[in-house]
């Protein structure tokens, strides 16, 4: 099963458009503000859909939810390839959001259910880190393949079409999962219990201080990272045009080469970080302290990014984004393990979907704000707001961590 879990992550991350997402939208004459609105719309859609889809997965079967997710992905990728207007892009984003909503939380619940059935619950961080590392290796391969396509064809649209193929292949992978992983108990829950389960699990997230804290942290950490990470692409494009290399090549081709190199390194380092998230967390007294150490590193890295964005040191800004990606791949397994430790098994997919929804809300709020401020800033300081907001969020999280969580009885 671990092989099939890893194969899922590897195929899921064959998203050939991912390293060129912002550049593909800029090629369609979108502003940064409109791109931010598209990202915000996607995340709001995910937030609206995520808890109900988690409850559906817990109630009517997790494998079916994953298959539906990837059918939605295939539709979204085809529509992105066909899109010639902003309304069609919004429809494609909504289809993509459906895929994300049915996927997030659900597959992690499948992994944790299998670990419990094998008596290996204590390995949650380690096993999830391994599967996530394969996802990152899939991303590393995908960026090389995508760059080759862009260099060959000198345009970005084709990478959306090609991304539909591995999404379809993952459906076949899900069909090989044992039916016993569809539900948490020995028998299928009644459908009429779906909303009851949804309410109990959601209430648990807000009434349990030990669940509320990591979910709130996810909103900040994942929110600023998810909203800002793709701004690495125009920075790489700027660096590619400034380098005295491959001067006979078109700008798109030169950008593709540099993106392939930097993103491949980023994904390989992210794979390494995910694989060793378990050993990393074991260096600390508990996973909460491991998370706080990452918040400190997060603040420092955004500080370095600020220096890179207000000076001519574009390479320093690019380096900062790579480090942020590595830290996010350490953070994610630790956070998921913290949430899973506090969630009941029968509502696991729903609780994990609530966590993912918090992340989506964070991105939905931050992405349009960043897009608008990037458009309004002078060109030489265009990306400074990203760093400033990252520093502010990190310091708020560190200040909050100094306060012990209140007990439920005190509220």
What structural domains and CATH numbers belong to the chain? 2-178+194-402 (1.20.1250.20)
As a whole number, the mean pLDDT across the chain is 81
What is the reported pLDDT for 402?
A: 66
Q: Look up residue 76 and give its two tokens.
A: 């979204």
Weakest-pLDDT range from 47-61, 160-174, 188-202, 232-246:
188-202
Q: Which of 227, 231, 249 is nearest to 240 (CA)?
A: 249
C-alpha 160/C-alpha 24 separation (Å) is 10
Q: What is the pLDDT of residue 51?
A: 63
Residue that wins the pLDDT comparison between 183 and 12: 12
Distance of CA 40 to the CA centre of its chain: 14
Which residues, 6+ apart, have CB-to-CB distance to 329 below 8 Å? 132, 136, 269, 270, 271, 273, 274, 277
Please tell me the predicted confidence (pLDDT) of residue 247: 64
Helix 106-117 / helix 86-103 crossing angle, nearest 10 deg: 10
Residue 154, pLDDT score: 75
pLDDT of residue 94: 94
pLDDT-derived band at 276, boundaries 50, 70, 90: confident
Q: What is the pLDDT of residues 338-396, one digit of tens each?
A: 777 776 666 666 677 677 778 888 888 899 999 999 889 888 888 999 999 999 999 98
- The number of C-alpha atoms within 13 Å of 323 and in the hemisphere containing its C-beta is 17
Per-residue b or e along 235-268, where b marks 16 or more CB atoms closer than 10 Å to that residue's CB: bbbbbbeeeeeeeeeeebbbbbbbbbebbbebbb
Note the pTM of the prediction, 2 decimals: 0.75
């Amino acid at each position: 099963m671990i092989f099939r879990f890893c194969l899922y992550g590897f195929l899921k991350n064959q998203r050939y458009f991912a390293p060129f997402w912002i550049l593909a939208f800029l090629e369609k004459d979108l502003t940064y503000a409109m791109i931010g609105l598209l990202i915000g719309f996607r995340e709001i859609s995910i937030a609206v859909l995520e808890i109900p889809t988690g409850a559906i997965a817990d109630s009517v079967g997790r494998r079916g939810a994953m298959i539906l997710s990837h059918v939605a992905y295939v539709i979204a990728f085809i529509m992105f390839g066909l899109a010639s207007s902003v309304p069609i892009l919004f429809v494609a984003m909504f289809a993509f959001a459906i895929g994300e909503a049915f996927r997030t939380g659900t597959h992690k619940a499948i992994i944790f259910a299998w670990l419990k059935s094998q008596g290996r619950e204590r390995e949650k961080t380690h096993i999830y880190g391994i599967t996530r590392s394969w996802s990152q290796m899939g991303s590393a391969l995908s960026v090389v393949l995508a760059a080759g396509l862009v260099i060959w064809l000198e345009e970005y649209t084709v990478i959306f079409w090609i991304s539909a193929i591995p999404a379809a292949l993952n459906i076949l992978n899900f069909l090989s999962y044992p039916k016993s992983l569809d539900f948490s108990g020995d028998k299928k829950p009644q459908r009429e219990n779906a909303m009851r389960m949804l309410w109990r699990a959601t209430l648990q997230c807000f009434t349990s201080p030990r669940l509320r804290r990591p979910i709130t942290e996810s909103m900040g950490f994942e929110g600023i990272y998810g909203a800002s990470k793709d701004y690495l692409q125009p920075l790489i494009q700027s660096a590619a045009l400034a380098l005295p290399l491959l001067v006979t090549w078109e700008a798109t081709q030169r950008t593709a080469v540099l993106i392939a190199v930097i993103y491949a390194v980023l994904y390989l380092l992210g794979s390494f970080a995910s694989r060793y998230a378990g050993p990393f967390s074991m260096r600390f007294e508990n996973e909460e302290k491991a998370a706080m150490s990452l918040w400190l590193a997060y603040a420092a890295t955004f500080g370095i990014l600020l220096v890179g964005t207000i000076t001519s040191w574009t390479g320093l800004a690019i380096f900062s984004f790579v480090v942020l990606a590595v830290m996010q791949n350490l953070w994610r397994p630790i956070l998921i393990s913290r949430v899973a430790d506090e969630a009941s098994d029968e509502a696991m997919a729903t609780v994990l979907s609530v966590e993912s929804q918090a992340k989506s809300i964070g991105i939905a709020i931050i992405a349009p704000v960043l897009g608008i401020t990037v458009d309004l800033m002078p060109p030489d300081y265009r990306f400074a707001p990203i760093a400033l907001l990252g520093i502010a969020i990190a310091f708020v999280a560190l200040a909050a961590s100094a306060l012990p969580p209140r007990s439920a009885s005190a509220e």
